[in-house]
Chain A
Amino acid sequence: MRRQIGRAGWGWTGFSAVVSFIYFFPVLWIVLTAFKAHTDALAIPPKWIFTPTLENFVSVFARAYIKGQTAVDTNFDVYFFNSIFIAGSSVLIALIIGTLAAYGFSRYPLKGNNTYLFIILTTRMLPPIVVIIPIFLMFRVSGLSGTYLGVILLYTAFNLPFTIWMMKSFFDELSPEVEDAARLDGSNGYRVFFRVCMPQVKAGLAATAVFGLILTWNEFLFALLLTGVETRTVPVAMAQTIGGDIGVRWGLLAAIETLFLIPVVVVVYVLQNHLLRGVTFGTIRR
């Protein structure tokens, strides 16, 4: 009997499971720690059986900074809102601008098209640590420092090159004859774009959005220097949570991280059907 093509045996399935588990283990560790009391979290050897507690999650949002004092609001609800608002807006704006630009680069190439594309990409070649000082000064002078507008603009600019390159590759894959057919069928340029092209690159749009979201969601350095008290994002706030009267509160940090993971998991779950095709650049056909 010939083995059915495309179906792995138990050996490979088991092997994959082991590898997956190794990769997933840190996440599991974080989630478990989030439900542990302080002493359980520090216990060596690690405790696998423990009484779960929601104490850490409560203290994410309100806790006493000094033992014995009454709990005060930590503002983490604001930081979570900031992270979602800033990442969401900048990715959305980058997607709108980047998709239009990518369509232009793909369908109406300029003279020296590749040079333009390369220049766009070079904006991402410098390490953040190199450009942070001039950007910091520019933000200071222009008064953008600490504002939503400033940090959203910055993240949009950072997401754009990647968005343009990715979306261009998706547009390049589309058959130009299909667009010609639509033109003959009575569609003008806008309708060709919105009714014929965009529905075909949905998967690409989803993949680009997820990559951009994760990148922006995790960004720390710029957020540290350019956000203010009101516009602080979760990664910065998380860093500032380390320390305190009883040493590092691992349970608390793990609880923040667990909450921080949820939006990413939700977005990826919602878009998973598109993602497979998107991240493989359409090489896997439905």
Chain B
Amino acid sequence: MRDTERREPGSGPEPEAHLRLEGVGKRFGSIVALDGLDLEVRHGEFYCLLGASAAGKTTALRVISGLETPGGGRVVFDGEEIAGVPSPDRGIAMVFQTFALYPHLSVFENLAYPLREARTPGPEIRARVAEMAEMLRIGHVLQRKPETASGGEQQRIAIGRALIRRPRLLLLDEPLTNLDAKLRHDMRAEFKRLHRELGTTMLYATPDELEALGMGERIGVLRDGRIVQTGSPDELYEHPVDTYVGQMVGSPKMNLAPAQRGEGLTVATSFADVSGGPWTGTLADLPQQAGLLLGFRPTDIRPAGGAPRGPRFPARVHLTEPLGDVTVVDLDIAEDMYRMVLPESEAVGFRPGDRLDVEIAVEQTHLFHRDTGAAIGRDVAPPSGAAAA
């Protein structure tokens, strides 16, 4: 794991960790769900855990909440090891993917349930439910059963039930998966609003990089039960540590061209010799013919024209996919398929079979080892704050 964390110069001591997982393992039979997971969430942060399905996101949240006991390692919350602390006493609440509302109770009773279990007096329950209902705009469904509420309302009820005990940490397990696309967008804004208003630390698990990039202040990319990279959305986008992160973050995903080290400080692909990329400095350390992958995002390949920004080479249009404001063009370059994203206006007139010259913005390219997928360092290690600048 490499932490490409951005640190403001002179920002003083490292921010205190709110939640820290150290080498947490968990297996179910022969399946390893968590493989020495290290994770650090700071006070008041919106942290996104990004990973494909079965990467271990849900298991990680269940371990933190206490629904599962870790097979090894430490879970430290506010400076306290919480492995032995019963779930309700941890000050941690969770919103489930399926909302998990109590179907036999009214919305009011759903919200009141955690308070009743904590033997809160009746008047206080009513006051806090009313307050929560107002904040989440679900006052009009309080007397109904949850199943009669709309998807977005059910989601907000689930959030309300989690927040009503005023947890110090809120875990969200793919909370938008069960909503339709339009609602998802609204709820993203809702989560950000709640985070801003409440200041509660949020740990948000999602397989959707758009959600992670859009909401997360920091993102941890989870793969096979361990974090492969942590950083701000920009850092992950600009400096992926390997091809997995490179392809996970950004849509459409990053193009990877098989390559090897060519003459001098060049990288030879099947369509061009590329030189002058940010990785040039480290290229000298690699043996000749070393197996490489050249990564470039679909937005960094363009029809040639104007001042050259990198190597130019011929391509053939295979398919165009207009998506409204942008068009995704599948290009056939030296027998391999690559994606190019263009503003809709620039892609007008492209037909399958058309030939054109394209160029890559060489400054934006990435270089990876072909065997391990690990990124090959840039000339200068990622400078502090450079990604955000």
Contacts and interface: CB of A to CB of B under 8 A. Distances in A.
Contacts of B62: 180
Interface in A169-197: 175, 177-178, 180-187, 191, 196
B320 to A, nearest CB: 41
B115 to A, nearest CB: 9
A244 interface: no
A202 B62 CA distance: 29
Contacts of B67: 180, 183-184
B113 interface: yes
Nearest to B95: A181
Interface string B69-97: 00000000000000000011000111011
Q: Chain B CB within 10 Å — which of A182, A184, A196, A200 has the most?
A: A184
A286 B93 CA distance: 30
A199 interface: yes
A178 to B, nearest CB: 5
Given A181-B96, A181-B161, A187 B117 contact: yes
A62 B208 CA distance: 79
Given A177-B97, A181-B94, A181-B96, A186 B102 contact: no
A182 B102 contact: yes
A177 B96 contact: yes
B113 A182 contact: yes
B114 interface: yes
Q: Chain B CB within 10 Å — which of A178, A199, A202 has the most?
A: A178
Q: Chain A CB within 10 Å — which of B62, B104, B105 has the most?
A: B104
Majority secondary structure, A binding face = helix
Interface in B179-226: none
Contacts, number: 54
Contact of B100 (A178, A187, A199): A178
B96 A180 contact: yes
B355 to A, nearest CB: 54
B19 interface: no
Interface residues of B, number: 25
Contacts of B105: 199
Interface in A183-232: 183-187, 191, 196, 199-200, 202
Nearest to B96: A177
A196 B113 CA distance: 10
A186 B103 contact: no
B186 to A, nearest CB: 23
B100 A177 contact: yes
Contact of B87 (A175, A178, A183, A199): A183
B96 A199 contact: no
A183 to B, nearest CB: 6
By Cβ-Cβ distance, the 9 closest A-B pairs, closest first, are A186-B117, A186-B88, A177-B100, A199-B104, A185-B114, A181-B100, A177-B96, A178-B100, A184-B87
Interface of B: 62, 65-67, 87-88, 92-94, 96-98, 100-105, 113-114, 117-118, 147, 161, 165
Interface of A: 175, 177-178, 180-187, 191, 196, 199-200, 202, 286
22 contacts: A177-B96, A177-B97, A178-B101, A180-B96, A181-B96, A181-B102, A181-B161, A182-B102, A183-B67, A183-B87, A184-B66, A184-B88, A184-B92, A184-B94, A185-B88, A185-B114, A185-B117, A186-B114, A186-B117, A186-B118, A196-B104, A200-B103
